[in-house]
Amino acid sequence: MDRSTTEWLIDARGVQAWYGSSHILHGIDFQLARGETVGLLGRNGMGKSTLIRSLLGHVKQRQGEIRIVGKDLSRGSPHEVAKLGIAYVPEGRGIFPTLTVRENLIMTERAGSRGQREWDFDRVMKTFPRLAERLGNLGSQLSGGEQQMLSIGRALMTNPDAIILDEATEGLAPMIVAEIWRVIGQIRASGIATLVVDRDYRKVCTESDRLVVLQKGRRVLAGPSAELRGSAELAGYLGV
């Protein structure tokens, strides 16, 4: 990918991060281009979620350059990143348990950074028929899979340029996992750039354009998914 002509939604160089005195990330470079899907892989505890949270401004002890749609947000906050069109579906879902499904969705509805309104309430309902049947239910009354659908639907209602999915299928029944991956495919097809973290590395390889692999807080492997899929090098870093 030509760095000189690519439109990076996220362009991070030399990212380092700490939790207290623990040095977690060690000089990571990471890019996400408009319209592409990147799979972020690595065994548990290798820094994937910390990298995501650093890019989004949640981790305060960080260094390096982080540019969002060309704007320097190396010291930016989460709301500044969100305003520039980066949506986040966190591990643990983060929905509002005391609000109804409808309220959770409507409260985030807005035009995107370029004025786009491709994802509205009706489209989210068509994408997630289960939610359409539970509009009056509180977030706390939903199953884990339905809460995950709500979290993704809520992110889509912001009409983002990019969506970050951190362990979107963790702990879900196989039927729901298949449904979530179906929706991820729809998101990709709609042109929204996607960063995916998931334990099913085979599915991540299949559903992404590029892979970035972390080990002990360092980027150790990166390249086109089609080239790295099934390679001994990738298997070695993932321990499979």
Tens-digit pLDDT profile for residues 72-105: 999 999 999 999 999 999 988 889 999 999 999 9
Provide mean pLDDT across the span 175-187: 94
Can you give the pTM of this predicted structure?
A: 0.93
What pLDDT, on a 0 to 100 scale, did the predictor assign at position 121?
96
What pLDDT, on a 0 to 100 scale, did the predictor assign at position 189?
93
Tens-digit pLDDT profile for residues 38-65: 999 999 999 999 999 999 999 999 999 9
Residue 2: is its pLDDT beyond 60?
Answer: no
What pLDDT, on a 0 to 100 scale, did the predictor assign at position 239?
85
Written as six digits, the tokens of 3 are 């760095």
Q: What is the CATH number of domain 8-238?
A: 3.40.50.300
The DSSP code for 116 is -
What pLDDT, on a 0 to 100 scale, did the predictor assign at position 5?
58
Residue 158 CA to residue 116 CA, distance in Å, equals 9
Tens-digit pLDDT profile for residues 102-144: 999 999 999 998 899 999 999 999 999 999 999 999 999 999 9
Q: How far is CA 239 from CA 49, 73, 123, 236, in A?
A: 19, 35, 40, 5
Which residues are 212's β-sheet partners? 40, 222
Residue 233 CA to residue 196 CA, distance in Å, equals 20
Would you kindly state where each structural domain of the chain is located, as residue ranges?
Answer: 8-238
Written as six digits, the tokens of 39 are 């799979």
Q: How many C-alpha atoms does 187 have within 13 Å on its Cβ side?
A: 32
